[in-house]
Amino acid sequence: MAYNIIRHRSNFPNRQVYTVNLQNERHFHVTVTSNAASVTRWLGQTLFLLPRPLHDPTLVVGLGVQWTHGTPSADIIQLCIGCRCLIFQLSLADRVPNRLRRFLYHPLHTFVGFWNHTDRWKLERSVHRLHLLREPVDLRHPAGDLWDENLRYASMRDIVWSVLGYDVTQRQGIGMSDWSAEHLDMDQIASAAIKAFCARLIGVRVRDSAMQ
């Protein structure tokens, strides 16, 4: 995977902050936390900073879910809005803020990802029982409609390469790693964040194409 990740000093002991630079072309910020107050703060700041077109009140959100092999529930939920991503360690959190629950259930929020037919189910079976209002959009299908019908069956890596031109090849076995760990390694953080970030970018293109 062609990326650089830099860890920054955080003013809060219960969160870590990173910048990911994707192919020296796009960079975005990542917050990793298991703390409910940090999630509330992230949502407030991110939504405040996000420009919203007046003609389209909907919000496209990159969504990903990570779980440890052999377990049925989500350990991680990752969200991306604009150039800001959140990795929330559900399995380590003592609670989930109500603001996040409302955000996930909002009728004007469209959640998008790749090969995500079990994401809603795994969130509902997580220790905190998170609920999405609707199934998230699997970007394989609109990508197949808009760009190349073969993308309906493609991997995330191939879809991102075809639509965005980014190489997001992952370290072998990263998806099978321990996502319940207190300290995620750099490859785990980058992999989860890039997945949500690229989903957001492609989701916005799909939305904009539908509006033309």
What the block records as the tokens of 184 is: 């995620």
Place of tokens 């996000």: 50
Question: Best-predicted range by mean pLDDT among 27-36, 42-51, 163-172, 201-210?
Answer: 27-36
User: Of 79, 95, 110, 90, whose CA–CA distance to 192 is shortest?
Assistant: 79
Q: What is the DSSP letter of 146?
A: H
Q: Is 22 helix (H, G, I), strand (E, B) or coil?
A: strand
Looking at residues 106-135, what average pLDDT do you find? 96
Q: What digits encode the pLDDT tens for the residues 90-119?
A: 999 999 999 999 999 999 999 999 999 999
Q: Which of 14-23, 37-46, 137-146, 164-173 has the lowest mean pLDDT?
A: 164-173
**pLDDT bracket for residue 51 (50, 70, 90):** confident
What the block records as the tokens of 124 is: 């509902």
Residue 212 has a pLDDT of 66
Tell me the residue type at 37.
A
Candidate CATH numbers 3.40.50.2000, 3.30.420.10, 1.10.645.10, 3.30.830.10; the one for domain 3-211: 3.30.420.10
- Where along the chain do its domains lie? 3-211
Give the Cα separation of 93 and 77 in Å (integer).
Answer: 12
Looking at residues 86-92, what average pLDDT do you find? 97
Looking at residues 60-70, what average pLDDT do you find? 94
